[in-house]
Amino acid sequence: MQEHDEPEHPEDSGVELVEPEDFLPANPFPLDAQRMGIDRWSDNAGMIAVASSLDSRKLSHKIVAWVMLLSITAWLAFQLWVQMT
């Protein structure tokens, strides 16, 4: 019976090792958000993912962006009004 030689390092054999990250879906967030540490488990990650996927060339996407902007600013203005009164 003949034994085969085991390489010392996996890189020497030409075999590519599989990492757990290979099975995860791609991160949908822009690079700026990733640098700030925002990932799929962060608070408000859904809003960021939706906003980053909008295309400014499409009218419906512009309308969604304006609705999102108005809803956030209306909520902020309402909270300021409640605090002032």
Rounded Cα–Cα distance for residues 38 and 48 (Å): 9
Instruction: Give the SS3 label for residue 3.
Output: coil
Q: State mean pLDDT over 11-39.
A: 76
Sorting pLDDT into bands at 50, 70 and 90, what band is 40?
Answer: confident
Q: Please tell me the pTM assigned to this model.
A: 0.54
What percentage of the chain carries pLDDT values higher than 90?
35
Take residue 33 and report the two structure tokens written for it. Answer: 């958000």
Rounded Cα–Cα distance for residues 66 and 72 (Å): 10
Residue 4 lies inside a defined structural domain of this protein: no
Same domain? For 49 and 62 the reply is no
| pLDDT tens-place string over residues 48-73 | 888 888 999 999 999 999 999 999 99
Same domain? For 62 and 46 the reply is no
The domain total for the chain is: 2
**Burial class of residue 29 (count of CB atoms within 10 Å of its CB; 0-12, 13-18, 19+):** buried
